[in-house]
Amino acid sequence: QEKLDMSMYPVESIRNFSIIAHVDHGKSTLADRLLEITGTISKTARNKQVLDKLQVERERGITVKAQSASLFYNHEGINYLLNLIDTPGHVDFSYEVSRSLSACQGVILVVDANEGIQAQTVANFYLAFEAQLSIIPVINKIDLKNADPERVEKQIEKLFDIPTDECIRISAKQGTNVEKVLQKVIEKIPPPQCNTADPLKALVFDSTFDHYRGVVANIALFGGEIAKGHKIVSAHTKKRYEVNEVGILTPDEQPTHKLYAGQVGYLIAGMKEVAEAQIGDTLFLYKQPVEPLPGFKSAKPMVFAGMYPIHQTEYNNLKSALERLTLNDSSVTVHRDSSLALGAGWRLGFLGLLHMEVFNQRLEQEYNTSVILTAPTVPYKAVLSSAKLIKEYGKDQITIINPAQFPDKLSVSEYLEPTVLGTIVTPHEYIGKIITLCQDRRAVQKDMLYIDENRVMLKYLFPLNEIVVDFYDTLKSLSSGYASFDYEDAGYQSADLIKMDILLNGNPVEELATIIHNDKAHAAGKLLCERLKETIPRQLFEIAIQAAIGKKIIARETLKAYRKNVVAKCYGGDITRRMKLLKRQAEGKRLMRKIGNVEVPRDAFIRVLKREPDK
């Protein structure tokens, strides 16, 4: 394969941009058209979301991982190099979006002409706006019969202060007007501010793992040039590497002789572990150190769940699968954890529920492992007041990920729970239902704004644990799928939290303990007891299933004992004969209950811990 010569693209003819939008507004389809117009891929009917390479992405029709591609385009006699990054739209992956923006100088903001502005559009716009990138608004799907581009233009003008005449109306599916987008990119987006004569400075904004070649790092060059054989150093780990290959991605890897300042490409340098290609790291030439680039805020996990192998014999396979997958998905945090019922496992931190499901699906598809995931929890904090505990932990605030570590109320001055600022964009006819839903979830209204005569933007402060399980699903079903939801971290606030234990015949079961808000404890305790009653097998003695807060029992279900019919042999005779036999049986059962212990089978745990929809 002929290696490309990248020196014919000086800095001023390079444009780096990414495509941002709400879920399903047509980012990946627009990317397909741009790739076709520039001749990067051949025009066939099969080009559907070419950049969504993962099986998960294909099945669910969503983008999970940002993908980059370089396009060559001739505009007014000059050859331009355009580096396009297609980004995910879901709120869970906004970390991917903010990372991609760091390698860009401009964005295409895609809005669906049918749906109008939705919550994610707003969130992604502000990400780009804060990064001071030039923004090209594009209204997509004008070929749909319900499309109303004028309304959408007014919304864009009202919310983002972008004049309506700047909006480009396109249909990415049919390719209408897409050329215009490319011309706009060249006119409006500035070339990168950097120089080939400077020393090498490269930002690692993504990395993937290849079984044969080790880590493939995606880099954006902010100065200098890089070629095979160069000795480079990582600013983060201070390790030295020799470059084996550099190139550009025209979705597929295309090796080149060199990469120059302003270009975006990939680099393979014999890094064995993805931990070495730290995202946000700066690479520079050996003996020519530079000031490292600012990097990224590390992603904050919002949801924690325990992950355990189905059989302990599979522990090592799962361990290596997890290590490889976290290479490709750096925003998952992993802590070792073990539980009495489920054995050794991990506590994983995810950015959201969709992220957790996708991660689980990728483990199954790409590494063929099946796992048990426990119900998701959120990280709480406790401000300690007892001097003994402060000394033991070395600080006066501790983060509680596992309910087993929940400190006693006497030694804590206050408990804190994480909150998020949620934005809901909805048609106004659903507003009543949605406000009621938010109030049920202990949310506080911060703001309400009419975007146009029939769309409303609501802002609420939510406790994170209230929205983590099923808020999104409920919101969608209340609003017939029209409302959209987006959230960002808003720090911690004090809350009335308690630890709820589950007792079987008076003995606490450690795995079923949960941390919960005081107001919700009764309902949740009752539900758990009912669910356990259905799953625990009956014994020869009675089992009391109780939910308790400290010493106080708040809910109880009784699992009746199996009993033999001892009075079958009595025909007639006096009632006292019957009473005597029943009394003897009852005494036997009482004795058995004293010495019998309840073994909760593993599948009962799994059934209770997996979150099932409330019956």
The domain that holds 469 is classified in CATH as: 3.30.70.240
| Residues 594 and 531 grouped into a single domain | yes
pLDDT of residue 297: 65
Mean pLDDT per 10-residue segment, the chain (615 residues): 72 83 80 77 64 70 77 81 80 74 84 82 81 86 84 84 84 81 84 80 79 80 83 82 84 80 83 71 79 70 82 85 76 79 81 81 82 80 82 81 80 87 85 88 86 82 81 80 78 88 84 82 88 85 88 90 86 86 89 76 67 47
**CA–CA gap between residue 614 and residue 157 (Å, rounded):** 43
Res 580: pLDDT: 92
Domain with 17 in it: what CATH number? 3.40.50.300
Is 40 found in the same domain as 154? yes
Residues 408 and 429 in one domain: yes
- How far is residue 176's CA from residue 562's CA, in Å, rounded to a whole number? 72
Statement to judge: residues 130 and 17 lie in one domain: yes
214, part of any domain: yes
Judge if 71 and 141 occupy the same domain: yes
Domain end call among 166, 188, 210: 188
Residue 296 lies in a domain: no
Q: What is the CATH number of the domain that holds 340?
A: 3.30.70.870
Alpha carbons 383 and 394: distance in angstroms, whole number:
12
What was the pLDDT predicted at 556? 92
Amino acid 513: pLDDT: 81
Same domain, 26 and 115: yes
Are residues 50 and 159 both part of a single domain? yes
The reply to whether 213 and 182 lie within a common domain is: no
If asked whether residues 391 and 358 sit together in one domain, one would say: no
Looking at the fold, whether 99 and 182 belong to one and the same domain comes out as yes
Q: For residue 292, is it within any domain?
A: no
Does residue 320 share a domain with residue 390? no
Domain span holding position 581 = 499-609
- Whether 227 is covered by a domain: the verdict is yes
For residue 192, CA distances in Å to 123, 275, 449 come to 25, 28, 37
Number of domains making up the chain:
5
E strands along 385-467, which residues? 397-400, 412-427, 444-452, 455-463
pTM: 0.72
Which residue is it, tokens 């200098």?
Answer: 224
Kindly state whether residue 85 falls inside one of the protein's structural domains. yes
Same domain, 58 and 207: no
- What confidence score (pLDDT) does residue 521 get? 87
Note whether residue 510 is domain-resident: yes
Domain edge (last residue) among 356, 373, 390? 373
Residue 233 lies in a domain: yes
461 found inside a domain: yes
Counting Cβ atoms within 10 Å, is residue 260 exposed (0-12), middle (13-18) or buried (19+)? buried
